[in-house]
Each structure stands twice: as C-alpha cells, then as structure tokens.
C-alpha cells in the first residue's frame, strides 16, 4: 500500500470514503461519532492545505484517508485521566477506509510511527470496531477528552520503542 499527501484533486474520493465510514459506524451502533456531516468539508480542506492529510492507495485506488498532526493538540490539553507522558507526540485523526483493502489501520500506524513514535488518538465510546483495533495494536486507555462539539471521547496513547517490530 502506498501512502502520500492528500491533494485537492483527491476530494471526491476522500468524501466517498468518509461517507462510507459514517454509514459503517451507523450500521455498527455508532451513529453519533461523525453524524451525517463529520468531518466537515472545511476540516478536510484545512487538513489538506496544512499538509496533515494523507491518502492510502491500493492497486492505484484511494482506499483510505487519515490526518497525522505532530505537536500539541488543544483537544488533548484537558484530559480526565492521565497521558502516558508529556513528550512531543503525533495525533492520528479522521482515519477511514472504503472497506475494500485490509490492514489499513496497521499501515497508518506503521507510517505514523516513523514520523513520530509517541502517538495519541481518540474515539467515541460506541466505536467498538476502532476501540478493538486500538487495543489490539497495544494502545493504552488514558482517559476521556472532549472534542470541539463538547462530546466525550476515549483517549488512547502508545509510545513505540525502536525495538518494536513494524
């Protein structure tokens, strides 16, 4: 699988992936995390402009999208709980796939840990699929944070050591 920065010309494919992800969340008992319009068009475009959005290609087709932002995330400043450390970190946001490729999150994780091995991520309590994926990949639950609309999310963190296998 190839990963590259998202370009504005990828917007239609990215929108389709997010629409598919919202539907899958709804079908799996998580209708509220992204509702009917998250991530917003404005947020998607900002991620692309800021160079934080990436697409994944499988057999030449865009099959996944995510944002990886290195540095402080204001959403993570207040946590009901405790982070594993206070070192610089990267945050994975808005990860989604079109369901046609396997191992997408593992590829995202391998890519991100090369850029910053101290990784944070959050998800909705009802997102049992993502919670399972995070826990299976060794992420620790650190507490509860609140996103921009005030709703709670379970916050996770993992610090990779150089000895951890890819």
CATH of the domain at 94: 3.40.630.30
Determine, yes or no, domain membership for 165.
no
Of residues 41, 91, 47, 84, the one with CA closest to residue 68: 91
Residue 121 lies in a domain: yes
Q: The domain containing residue 116 runs over which residues?
A: 2-159
What is the per-residue pLDDT for 163? 58
The pLDDT score that the predictor gives to residue 36 is 85
Q: Is residue 166 part of a domain?
A: no
- pLDDT for 34: 85
Q: Is residue 60 part of a domain?
A: yes
Neighbours of 160 (CB within 10 A): 18
Q: Is 93 helix (H, G, I), strand (E, B) or coil?
A: strand
Is cis: bond before 89, omega within 30 of 0? no
Domain contains 50: yes
Q: How far is CA 88 from the centre of its chain?
A: 18
Predicted pLDDT of residue 13: 97
Q: Is residue 16 in a domain?
A: yes
* Domain count of the fold of the chain: 1
Provide the residue-wise pLDDT of the chain in tens; the chain has 166 residues.
899 999 999 999 999 999 999 999 899 888 888 888 899 999 999 999 999 999 999 999 999 999 999 999 999 999 999 999 999 999 999 999 999 988 999 999 999 999 999 999 999 999 999 999 999 999 999 999 999 889 999 999 999 987 565 5
The answer to whether residue 164 is domain-embedded is no
The CA distance from 28 to 140, in Å, is 23
Q: Is residue 134 part of a domain?
A: yes
pTM: 0.93
Residue reference for tokens 């995510």: 66
Q: Of 21, 52, 15, which Cα lies nearest the Cα of 34?
A: 21
- pLDDT of amino acid 33: 86
């Amino acid at each position: 699988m190839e990963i590259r920065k998202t370009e504005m010309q990828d917007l239609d494919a990215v929108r389709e992936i997010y629409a598919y992800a919202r539907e899958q969340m709804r079908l799996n008992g998580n209708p509220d995390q992204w509702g009917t319009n998250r991530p917003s068009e404005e947020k998607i475009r900002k991620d692309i402009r800021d160079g934080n959005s990436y697409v994944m290609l499988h057999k030449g087709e865009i099959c996944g999208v995510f944002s990886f932002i290195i540095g402080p995330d204001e959403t993570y400043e207040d946590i009901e709980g405790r982070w594993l450390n206070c070192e610089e970190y990267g945050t994975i946001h808005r990860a989604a796939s079109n369901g046609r490729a396997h191992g997408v999150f593992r590829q995202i994780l391998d890519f991100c840990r090369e850029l910053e091995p101290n990784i944070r991520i959050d998800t909705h309590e009802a997102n049992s699929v993502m919670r399972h994926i995070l826990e299976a990949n060794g992420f620790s639950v650190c507490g509860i944070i609140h996103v921009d609309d005030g709703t709670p999310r379970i916050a996770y963190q993992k610090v990779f050591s150089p000895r951890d296998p890819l």
